[in-house]
Amino acid sequence: MNVLLIGSGGREHAIALALRRSKLLERLYVAPGNPGTARIGENVEINVADHAAVIDFCRKAAIALVVVGPEQPLIGGLVDTLETHGVPAFGPTRAAARLEGSKGFTKDLCRDYDIPTARYARFSAAEPALRYLREHGAPIVVKADGLAAGKGVVVATTLDEAERAVQAMFDGAFGLSGAEVVIEECLEGEEASFFAICDGVRALPFATAQDHKRVGDGDTGPNTGGMGAYSPASVVTPDIEARVMAEIVEPTVRAMHEKDAPFKGVLYAGLMLTKDGPKLIEYNCRFGDPETQVMLPRLEDDLLELMLAASRGALPRERPRFAPLAALTVVLAAKNYPGTPIVGSEIRNVQRAEAVEGVVITHAGTREDGGRLLAAGGRVLNVTALGESVAEAQARAYAAVDLIDWPGGFCRRDIGWREVARETTGRG
């Protein structure tokens, strides 16, 4: 069958590689794709926001499944349009994607269904929000309600910082996304990313990972889209996984079904593992980037089969199987990221790095220009390695990173540090 994959990041290149392993796949189209996906599929120039153009392409190319990578098209209702026109899709409808698109919606759902999360309040004006801050004090977390490209969250350590965040959001720092603000209790613990595949009625645990959101070594500096990840995250023990499914994921799937917004696709729970158990920080309605790059290379089952089953509301009984290996991804970013990245610099020796045993490189913000590979975005390449342990995967990934010649880029040197420390002390 023919598949259309929407997106252009490292996540989509990793999804494309996994789809390629499926016996069911004939032609793979990626819109818009990147130089990495061009090697294993056909990149197509469609304006994804133009739903009529997507439908038109699906008809002409006999597309049997559309897989939506990023959140914007989901929140924009692309899956609704596809379903209306009888084109199967993997991903939630606009109403179900509110789990990511509106933090206030998700917090209210947690309250109504007893899902463990940080205590919170919602505000649509600055004055009451500021009063609430003064009553509760710091540390406290201030969030713009809607999508803000990962920048709408301020974990304030002082009251002053929290007040400034509230002011900035109501002054329009995030446009309409900040027209409503959620203020919540600051949770303490270790974070983990938990992924489940849902078919509208049921959810299967997929895999876990740990992201590294800060730009600098030792988790310092501003937040980014993610500078690296490893999988599995051993902090999510089988016990914790059972609690996450029973206390967080399953009640959410039930709730969305009751709200006539059944959730199909990937439910990505950002968790805080607190001393009182796992709590939901936030939901995303899609695969994570770079978490996908460390989960899919370990997947032993057929991803396309799984996505089709989810889109048809008929997930298998058994959870997907993964190789008993660790995977680790180091993100290479253009200088000045997460500020405006300096693009256009040349990247050399990627092929040498790809030749390292157990290493796969996926593209994100790259561009080809007459045989040269150039940086064309913030996060540019993902160097992923498999190993028997996270430490081994880490050593291989950095050995490959060190073969790449790119003076215009940088990466963190400590991806996986928590897990490597646990492995070294024999815990976890």
Positions that interact with ligand AMP (CB under 6 A): 118, 141, 150, 153, 155, 184-187, 191, 213, 223, 270, 281-282
Q: Does 163 bind ligand GLY (CB under 6 A)?
A: no
Rounded Cα gap, residues 407 and 400, in angstroms: 15
| Distance (Å) of CA 346 to CA 233, 338, 371, 376 | 34, 19, 11, 10
Name the residue nearer to ligand GLY (CB basis): 292 or 394: 292
- For residue 291, the partner it binds in ligand GLY, ligand AMP, none, with Cβ less than 5 to 8 A by kind, is ligand GLY
- For residue 141, the partner it binds in ligand AMP, ligand GLY, none, with Cβ less than 5 to 8 A by kind, is ligand AMP
Q: Which stretch binds ligand GLY (CB under 6 A): 49-57, 282-290, 325-333, 383-391?
A: 282-290
Rounded Cα gap, residues 29 and 152, in angstroms: 33
298 secondary structure, DSSP code: G
Q: Does 278 bind ligand GLY (CB under 6 A)?
A: no
Rounded Cα gap, residues 57 and 27, in angstroms: 13
Taking the complex as a whole, the smallest distance from the CB of residue 209 to ligand GLY amounts, in Å, to: 8
Neighbours of 137 (CB within 10 A): 10
Q: Which of 69, 73, 226, 232 binds ligand GLY (CB under 6 A)?
A: 226
Spatial contact of 315 and 199, defined as CB atoms under 8 Å apart = yes
Structure tokens, 332:
């290479």
Q: Does 100 bind ligand GLY (CB under 6 A)?
A: no
Site for ligand GLY in 194-223 (CB under 6 A): 211
Spatial contact of 248 and 115, defined as CB atoms under 8 Å apart = yes
Smallest CA-to-CA distance from 286 within 147, 385, 397 is with 147
Q: Does 291 bind ligand GLY (CB under 6 A)?
A: yes
Rounded Cα gap, residues 16 and 362, in angstroms: 10
- For residue 91, the partner it binds in ligand AMP, ligand GLY, none, with Cβ less than 5 to 8 A by kind, is none
Q: Which of 288, 338, 378, 409 binds ligand GLY (CB under 6 A)?
A: 288
Rounded Cα gap, residues 301 and 373, in angstroms: 33
Taking the complex as a whole, the smallest distance from the CB of residue 291 to ligand GLY amounts, in Å, to: 6
Residues that bind ligand GLY (CB under 6 A): 211, 225-226, 284, 288-289, 291
